[in-house]
Structure 1
């Protein structure tokens, strides 16, 4: 063990000792793959693959730390404007990773459910078939849940929910006077319910939440943690620091509640 790795390990244990409230649901904006690649003299496709490797590591850490739900902002509706070469490499990578889910013993050992959230109408049939197969292979698992936000946009999601509700009203299945927040949440076009977001993490030194889960995050006043490392360089220390922000918020709420 190098001196630096020894110090990092001690700091990780210290941070973990500080965190008494573990967020149930963390949403991650994985930013910086392309910038990381440029700074390392690598091509964009390699940057995305390194980001995918970081994702697998972070998922392992999240499970070890007791985070039950994690949502990854993998590809937004705005990302479709990128050049065709980058899009092709990205969609190839997505297919590979969803195929790997079905064979990954960690997924089955830990009973991790995998589902996509986003606009499926924007994806190709072959990618959708792979996603459907991965979702079906893990549908009966309930220890943990990984939500892959793919072709996702928060406003787009709410628009689709509104259309679905209007269709229900038109068919006489929904009473307009009975529409409430639960109604909207039940029409967000997901194969499984997702709990409110406790903590949003954004990497890459950018201070915005980019239209990510506005109903479940902004609507529930989730904690937010912005950090400088690009996603491929994200460390367990960074995850624990983010969780500490959530813990501090929960402790403050407890103190306020005790004062009445």
Structure 2
């Protein structure tokens, strides 16, 4: 009871300290399995509760005016998990993607769904579900939800490099054409809109980046916020604390530049 009274006041207090709101937040959603284990429940339950929390976080992002959210949903390393867990995750992803198309919030807010990652690694039915969600929201540009699915930072740079070398070999581009902008096109494709990352948040008390967005985050010196709660326990208060870290860093950089 006391917490329910105090927490909104604390949220208001921290919000007042967030003078700078990031344009792009990338989130490593860690701790679903550990949350389930702690509760004595199945791993699939932990992932489903985590997916529900993701929907809440997207609502918070709209309220705070954050235009781009990138979620680390499934890494290339996650394919090493058991077949049953991977299958359960893919089923969950398909369900959530199907619901996106009819979600009135997506259309009310004008949210565009985009995937980054290696589509060739996905089963056909999941790839189709991704493409349907992308097509249904392709005309929106108010907010962007980027799903890092079958994603690995090293893999995306490696694949982009191979494709650039292939196009140089085939005389489609010249070596003099290679620039940062061109590399970003090869990393994400011309139809993907994704700016540099301002803030990375990782839950689950893990203090590492896990091969996440090395070009857009590390290359642009984004702020990083590690927090203890498992992803299903992540609160709006935790997000506000992360944004406060970004805001304080932004203010400090402005003072240095002045």
When normalised by structure 1's length, the TM-score is 0.97
Q: CA deviation at 1:172?
A: 1.6
The equivalent residue for 2:22 is 23
- Any unmatched runs of 5+ in structure 2? none
Equivalent positions of 1:68-217 (< 5 A) are 68-190=67-189, 191-217=191-217
Q: Number of paired residues? A: 257
**Aligned partner of residue 188 in structure 1, secondary structure:** helix
Aligned equivalents of 1:65, 1:110: Cα separation in 2: 13
Equivalent positions of 1:6-21 (< 5 A) are 6-21=5-20
Equivalent positions of 1:60-71 (< 5 A) are 60-71=59-70
- Any unmatched runs of 5+ in structure 1? none
Q: Residues 197-218 of structure 1: CA distance to partner in whole angstroms, max 9, x if unpaired? A: 0000000000000000000000
**Aligned partner of residue 224 in structure 1, secondary structure:** strand
Q: CA deviation at 1:167?
A: 2.1
Q: CA deviation at 1:177?
A: 2.2
**Aligned partner of residue 160 in structure 2, secondary structure:** helix
The equivalent residue for 1:234 is 234
**Aligned partner of residue 195 in structure 2, secondary structure:** coil
Q: CA deviation at 1:169?
A: 1.0
Q: CA deviation at 1:178?
A: 2.8
Q: Residues 198-241 of structure 1: CA distance to partner in whole angstroms, max 9, x if unpaired? A: 00000000000000000000000000000000000000000000
TM superposition outliers: structure 1 runs of 4+ over 6 Å: none
Aligned equivalents of 2:108, 2:123: Cα separation in 1: 30
Is the counterpart of residue 220 in structure 1 residue 220 in structure 2? yes
Aligned equivalents of 1:181, 1:112: Cα separation in 2: 27
Q: CA deviation at 1:257?
A: 1.3
**Aligned partner of residue 187 in structure 1, secondary structure:** helix
**Aligned partner of residue 54 in structure 2, secondary structure:** helix
Q: CA deviation at 1:20?
A: 0.8
Q: Residues 110-138 of structure 1: CA distance to partner in whole angstroms, max 9, x if unpaired? A: 00000111000101111111110000000
